[in-house]
Amino acid sequence: MSIQVERPAEEKHPKEKLLRMDRIPHIWCPTCGLGTTVTAMASALEQLELDLNNVAVVSGIGCTGRVAGYMKLDSFHTTHGRAIPFALGLQIARPDMKVIVFSGDGDLISIGGNHFIHTARRNVDITVICVNNFIYAMTGGQVAPTTPITARTATSPFGNYEHPFNLPLLAASSGAVYVARWTALHIRRLTTAIKEAITKKGFSFVEVVAPCSTLYARLNKLGTGLDLMRFYHDNSVIKHGADVREVDVDYQSKIVVGKFLDIEKPTYIDCVNDGNKRVFGDKYKPYGGNHGDN
C-alpha cells in the first residue's frame, strides 16, 4: 500500500543545492542509514559556507560508494577499495581543494584497508567518512571485517566467528589527527563532526554506525530500520575523549560514540615542503599543485 502525498509544485528538496536532483530517487533501501548520513554531510557543507566548487567527493564501491553519484560536487566513483589513493592523488594535485572520501566499511577497511592505514600514517589532508553497517550490503549481506562476533550474515550463517576491527582505534593508531564516531541517529552531532573533520588539516576520520534494515537487521532478526534507530537511541554512550582501545562494538551491546581524538600534526604536504626546504634552501621549488590554473 502506498500513500500519495500531495506536494505543492514550488516545493523544493531542502538539500537541492547539494544533490544531483536529476539522479533522485536514489537506489538506497527505505530506512537505510545513508539518507541521514548524506543529509548530515550536506548540512555540514552548507553550515561551513565553503566554496562548493572547491569540494570533491570520492567513493569506492558498495551502497555507500554510490554517494559520489548523488552529491552535486566534483565527484568520483572509483574502484573497490581504491577511493583513498585516488583521493590522495587528487588532493596532492589540488591542495586548495577539500577532498572527502565517502565510502563503506567493506570498501575502506577490508579491500582498501592498506590504503586507509597508510594514508592516515602520512597524514594526507583528506576527510574519510566511513559508513559502517557491519555488512557487505550491495552484494547481499556478507560478513565484513566490522561484523560483530556472533552476528549472522549471508556468509556467516551460523554467526560470525572472527574478531572485528575497532575502526577508531585503527584510525588513531595509524596516524589520523581527528577521529569521531556517531550513529545515523545522531544527525546534529554527526553534522558537527563532519564539519570539524572537513575543517581539520590532516587525515580526519568519522565512523558512522548505520542501519542496514534489508540485510543486517533481517538476517539477525533485529526488526526494522526504526527498531535499529531505537536501539542506537537506547544504547549509544557519548564519551568524548574515550580511550580508543575501549570502543569496540560488540553484537547488540553499548555503542560508545563521541569525538575521540583531535590533535595537531603536520600534514603530508607540510612535511614534504619542510623537509625539502631544509635540504635545498632557496633552490627548492615547493609543490603546490596547479591552484586551479588549468
Partner 1 sequence: MPRVTTHRLLSSLMNVSTATSAKCFALILPYFACGSRKVRRRYQLKASSDNVLTGSHYLDGNHAAAEGAIAAGCKFFAGYPITPSTEIAERVSRRFPLIGGIFIQMEDELASMGAILGASWGGVKSMSCTSGPGFSLMMENFGLGIMLETPCVLVNVQRGGPSTGLPTLPGQADMMQARWGSHGDYEVIALAPVSPQESFELAIHAFNLSEKYRMPILIMTDECVGHMTEKVVIPPPEEIELVERRYTDKPAGKAWPFELTDDLISPMLPVGKGYKFHITGLTHDERGYPIINAEAQEKNVRRLIDKVNKHVDEIIWIEEKDVEDADIVIMAYGISARVMQPAITKARKEGIKVGQIKMVTVWPFPEKRVRELADKVKALIMVEMNYGQVFLELDRCAAGKCRTYLAGHAGGTVHDPENIYNTIKEAAK
Number of Cβ within a 10 Å radius of residue 57: 27
Verify binding: residue 289, partner 1, rule CB under 8 A.
Answer: yes
If one asks whether residue 23 binds partner 1 (CB under 8 A), the answer comes out as: yes
DSSP string, 183-199: ETT-HHHHHHHHHHHHH
Q: Is 49 in the site for partner 1 (CB under 8 A)?
A: no
Find all residues with CB under 8 Å of 267, minimum gap 6, and list them: 123, 124, 125, 201, 202
Give whichever of 70 and 134 is closer to partner 1, judged by the CB atom. Answer: 70
What stretches of 61-213 adopt beta strand conformation (E)?
A: 74-77, 98-104, 127-132, 135-136, 142-143, 178-183, 204-209
77 makes contact with partner 1 (CB under 8 A): yes
Only segment of 34-42, 82-90, 102-110, 132-140 that touches partner 1 (CB under 8 A): 82-90
Instruction: Give the residue from 173, 180, 225, 229 showing the smallest Cα distance to 206.
Output: 180
Longest C-alpha distance within the chain, in Å?
A: 72
Among 7, 221, 278, 285, binds partner 1 (CB under 8 A): 285
Binding flag, residue 287, partner 1 (CB under 8 A)? yes
Please enumerate in sequence order all residues whose Cβ is within 8 A of that of 50, keeping only pairs 6 or more positions apart, or say none: 98, 198
- Minimum CB–partner distance for residue 48 and partner 1 (Å): 16
> Which member of 41, 42, 44, 68 binds partner 1 (CB under 8 A)?
68
Beta carbon of residue 231, minimum distance to partner 1 (angstroms, whole number): 33
**Site stretch for partner 1 (CB under 8 A), options 114-122, 158-166, 211-219, 231-239:** 114-122
Binding site for partner 1 (CB under 8 A): 20, 22-23, 52-54, 56, 58, 68-69, 72-79, 81-82, 84-94, 96-97, 114-115, 118, 272, 276, 279-280, 283-290, 292, 294
